[in-house]
Amino acid sequence: MAETVAQIHPLVESARSRGGLSPSQIIWRKLGRNRAAMFGLYTLIALYAAALLAPFLAPYSYTDADTKLPFYPPMIARIHLFDEEGRLSRPFVYGIKPEDNELKTYSDDRSVKYPIRFFVRGDEYRILWIIPSKIHLFGVERPGRIFLFGSDQLGRDIFSRILYGAQISLTIGIVGIIISTIIGVVVGGVAGYFGGVTDFLLMRGVEVLLALPSLYFILIMRQMFASDASSTSVYMIIVLILAFIGWATEARVIRGMVLSIKEREYVIAARALGLGHWRIITRHILPNTLSFVIVTATLSVPFYILGEVALSFLGAGIQEPEASWGNMLTAAQNLWYLQAFPWMVTPGFFIFIAVMAWNFLGDGLRDAADPRTIS
């Protein structure tokens, strides 16, 4: 059986002539030469690692609000390396002196210096949700504050909230894509393999889903669930809604592939050997669509990330005080905030970077998985 597969699959064939590389090795090699794709991959690794280690990397917790210091501008450019006499010292920030309570302006209180310390003790959290710890990567002693990206309307650290928000906004893409890929592969596989009435009905369903203006339906579906649900269930609701709309694209791609694969000799051979439908679909047909499944999945992740952002931005998604990149932007809608405190839109940059990285990686994977491009 393996022999038959090897003779037919174009990737395997080209691998043989080039000295025994497996298809996945070829794809990895091609991907490794694509600079944009590798840039995307490394960016994603960094972002997801940051999300995983958020409580450790963030100096404060996402609820830690200093109500006396709302809209404090970003400190990242005001970390001092030289003291008053121009000598190099360990990095420090000055104390904060509120200037105008109405306009929320501040000035440096030069009488106190707070050196930035590494591996400091702060709020308690759990490493990877298991091991309790108090160590944070960096921080300053109280009552000093370090707001790398500034503070929001309640005096919470935007940098910390972006890290915590990444846990929600970035994982929604992965969880959503896993759910919708499973549905898409099963529906697409069944529709393509059996054809006939099954195919007709399933594909009409897919067409209806593709014809819907998705965001409206996501909003309408969201109304079915109580708005005061706990944050975990809101997260699951959002993922399920997005996956419910999103699987249609995948199902259509898989169906098309299955239609052509089921006519191949090795499938006919499997059928002649008397294998069951289920075994043929799962063992002989679907594995051959794997590279396309991965490419489609990678290219669809942005849909989930942007979907969460849109829902949370409209107030129908993740609720305060929980942080997500979408609901952090809600406050930035206020024209005064937007004009006077432009750092409120910082989460938007991170959404942009994450979506771009997924697009780069997806594009690179598509080129790499295409047997016609021999590099």
Query: Which residues contact other proteins (rule: CB under 8 A)?
Result: 208, 211-217, 219-221, 223-224, 226, 302, 306, 309-310, 313-314, 326, 329, 332-333, 335, 338-339, 342, 345, 348-349, 351-352, 355-356, 359-360
Q: Which pair of tokens denotes residue 110?
A: 């030069």
In one-letter notation, the amino acid at residue 154 is L
Q: At closest approach, how far in Å is the CB of 119 from other proteins? A: 34
Q: At closest approach, how far in Å is the CB of 361 from other proteins? A: 12
Q: At closest approach, how far in Å is the CB of 349 from other proteins? A: 8
Residues 281, 284, 286, 289: is their CA dihedral positive or negative? negative
Nearer to other proteins, 55 or 73 (CB): 73
Q: At closest approach, how far in Å is the CB of 300 from other proteins? A: 13
Query: What strands lie across the sheet with 88-100, from one edge to the other?
Result: 80-82, 88-100, 105-115
| Alpha carbon separation from 340 to 91, 105, 343, 345 (Å, rounded) | 28, 10, 9, 12
d(CA 92, CA 72): 17
Nearer to other proteins, 8 or 355 (CB): 355
The verdict on whether omega for the bond into residue 321 sits within 30 degrees of 0, i.e. cis, is yes
Nearer to other proteins, 24 or 373 (CB): 373
Q: Which of 76, 199, 96 is nearest to 138 (CA)?
A: 76
d(CA 79, CA 139): 12
Nearer to other proteins, 135 or 345 (CB): 345
| Residue pair 300/177 in contact by the 8 Å Cβ criterion | yes
Q: At closest approach, how far in Å is the CB of 41 from other proteins? A: 15
Nearer to other proteins, 91 or 205 (CB): 205
The number of residues making up the chain comes to 375
Nearer to other proteins, 74 or 91 (CB): 74
Q: At closest approach, how far in Å is the CB of 93 from other proteins? A: 27
